[in-house]
Structure 1
Amino acid sequence: MRLFLGLFLVLGFAAILVLWSLNHRRRCQSFGRRKRSGSSVVNYRFTKKPDWVPKEIIRMKALMRDAGCRSLADTFNRRFAHAGTTVGKTYVSDTVRKHRYEILLLRRRLKNRPPKPMPINKVWAMDLTGKADATGQIHSILGLLEHGSRVNLCLQALPDKSSLTLLRCLLAAVERYGKPECLRTDNEAVFTSGLFRFGLWLLGIRHQPIEKGCPWMNGRVERFFGTLKSKLDRWEVDSLQQLNDALVPFRFWYNHVRPHRNLDGRTPAEVWKDDDLDFRPRTESWFAAWDGLLTGYYLRV
């Protein structure tokens, strides 16, 4: 009798374990299912994402360097939730961790990619820099650059940094080269004054101030000033007039002698005039100024 009772208890306990195991497996399989009203189970939570999803997350992380995984997931879902594709913070974190090297390479390629070509004489960039003379007095230098060709339209040391002085220089450039559609500047007070904006409105030029703390948004003129300062810091001037006299050969060297990498090795003046000297007869002359700081071959038809 005791043996029969013990066997019964063992079989009953085993049956309970089998039933619990089957129920647990069924619950695990149904975890993460999403149901819709009037229909059966549609999909699972942990289904494999399409191949374009991790590629897009890698691209977003390369573009949004400081964004966290939650921010990337929210941005991705805002863009693609209408198409039925969403991601979570954990998925984004795993993707970023597994593809760190790819993100680094993509970020480097995006940073060093050449800018897209632009129409000529559509957008101008204006900015100010300074140069100290032998007495320590700092003179303001105005630079005006055309975006499409990178040609320098105005390079002048100014007696003052007023809005009226800048408008006079701008008007002289417009009379000589034509009127652009937009003028891009930073947010220095002289560029955001009521007089300067009113003058642009009278000229019919749209003002494009960049965002505060984002000098790269006006990168073409900033890069131009970088080229200028690398030479001008090694050149000594005594007065405002001498500085203006020194800027004349630099402007000629920059526009007509120095080839630009982002212009396929052409000079800004050649792109401005749409001249291709590779297949046309030309003459050449050696150009040197500033005691050898500015050198190169000047090619002309």
Structure 2
Amino acid sequence: MISLNWHYTVIVIFFTLLWLLILWCKQPKEAKTKHPIKAASDRKQHPIRTRRKPAWVTDELIRLKVHMPKAGCRTLALTFNRLFAHRGESVGKTFVAQTIQQHQYEIRVLQRKIKNRPAYEVPKGKYWGIDLTQVADTHRHQHTLLGICEHHSRLAVTLKRLPNKASITLLRCLLEVIEQFGKPQIIRTDNEAVFTSRLFRFGLWMLSIRHQTTEKHCPWQNGRIERFFGTFKTHIKQILIEDAVQLDEQLTTFCWWYNRVRPHQNLEGRTPAEVWLGVEPPKTRHWRYVSLWQGALRGFYAPPT
């Protein structure tokens, strides 16, 4: 009797569990409990549809990347949003990254185009770029140099060592150069103390020369004299300067080579002296090979006949 009741109990429990299993399987899928992370991953993702950006947005991002090559995508996005907020357009860093990645060729082409574009035309004798630099000799003594570049022809008007940086010394050198090359209309300098002193500005006013100063920390606004100094320092590092007397001789040699031997890219292959004098390159067979500064300055020179 007891054995029979035990068998009935097992059968009832089995069918009860089977009935509960069938009911659980018939429940809808949404009612089944799952792990929250797994449920989120199984959820069907619908793509978000956004409005396509106008073509000018891509062009402006390419232009910003060219002018700001070291800026990141977030910086470029913030800059774009500031510049074009009035047009109702904004971009995110993801869109900027995708645009830059897809237009690498266009960015390189625009970079080369901007780098090789011809400089703007300047009338002869209108602008002079003036700046100071320093050169150290073998005894680690710093010599102050004055450089003046004429903007039309890129002529190195002077490259001279100064005994000091006083305004009166600078004006004295400027008067000597004006006596030889004429007076410019405008002189452009940076904001160094010697150029912004009252004496220097008063001297330019007495000479009826307009004084222009670049913005602070913007050396490219006086780019011609800065480029001249860049060429000079690249070559002066290849030789040793013993003292001030030797430096004066080397400065004279460099100015002659720069003005009369070295062809300039922005002058269509002519030298600054040829543009300043208004003559064409000589068509002659009598060219002389020039090697100065122990081979640091090289080129070909045609002596005047």
Pairwise same-fold verdict (TM > 0.5): yes
Q: Which runs of 5+ in 1 are unaligned?
A: 1-44
Looking at structure 2, the residues matched to 272 and 282 of structure 1 have their Cα atoms a distance apart, in angstroms, of 23
Cα separation, partners in 2 of 1:157 and 1:73, compared to 1, 3 Å:
same
* Aligned with 1:216 (options 211, 214, 220): 220
**Alpha-carbon deviations, 1:210-251, whole Å to 9, x = none?**
222222222222221222222222333333222112211111
Name the residue aligned to 2:278: 274
- Hey, what's the Cα distance between the residues in 2 that align with 1:110 and 1:55? 15
In structure 2, stretches of 5+ residues that fail to align are: 1-49
CA distance in 1, matches of 2:64, 2:58: 10
Residue 41 of structure 1 is matched in structure 2 by none
Aligned residue number for residue 3 of structure 2: none
Aligned counterpart for 1:299 among listed residues 278, 297, 302: 302
User: Within 1, Cα distance between the matches of 2:94 and 2:125?
Assistant: 45
**Stretches of 4+ aligned residues off by more than 4 angstroms:** 45-48, 64-67, 280-283
What do residues 19-40 of structure 1 show as CA deviations (whole Å, max 9, x unaligned)?
xxxxxxxxxxxxxxxxxxxxxx
Q: Which position in structure 1 is the counterpart of 2:147?
A: 143
Superposition deviation, residue 189 in structure 1: 1.4
- Tell me the equivalent position of 1:162: 166
1:240 to 2:241 alignment: no
The higher radius of gyration belongs to 2
SS in 2 for 1:89: coil
Q: Which residue of 1 aligns with 2:290?
A: 287
1:205 paired to 2:209: yes
1:64: Cα distance to partner?
Answer: 4.9
* RMSD between superposed Cα atoms in Å: 2.7
Give 1:298 deviation, angstroms. 1.0
Deviation at 1:178, TM superposition (A): 1.7
Aligned length: 248
Report percent identity of matched pairs: 45
Q: 2:107 maps to which residue? A: 103
TM-superposed CA distance for 1:157, in Å, is 0.9
2:121 is matched with: 117
Match in the other structure for 1:38: none
- Using the size of structure 2 for normalisation, the TM-score is 0.71
SS of equivalent residue, structure 2 residue 148: strand
1:176 shift after superposition: 1.6
**Separation in 1, partners of 2:98, 2:255:** 49
TM-aligned CA deviation for residue 125 of structure 1: 1.0
Partners of 2:264 and 2:242 in 1: CA distance: 31
TM-score by length of 1: 0.72
The residue identity in structure 2 corresponding to 1:203 is: L
Aligned to 1:88: 90
Displacement, 1:300?
4.6
Find the aligned partners of 1:57 and 1:294 in 2 and give their Cα distance.
42
Distance 1:153 1:96, change over 3 A: same
Query: CA separation of 1:274/1:96 partners in 2, compared to 1, >3 Å: closer, same or farther?
Result: farther
After superposition, the Cα gap between the structure-2 partners of 1:72 and 1:140, relative to the gap in structure 1 and judged at 3 Å, is same
CA contact (8 A) 1:58 1:96 kept: no
Q: Does the aligned pair in 1 maintain the 2:284–2:302 contact within 8 Å?
A: no
CA contact (8 A) 1:149 1:272 kept: yes
Contact 1:61–1:72, Cα closer than 8 Å, also in 2: no
Distance 1:292 1:71, change over 3 A: closer
SS for the counterpart of 1:69 is helix
Q: Sort the Cα spacing of 1:282 and 1:153 in 2 relative to 1 into closer, same or farther, 3 A.
A: farther
| CA-CA distance at 1:187 after TM superposition | 1.9
Match of 2:136 in 1: 132
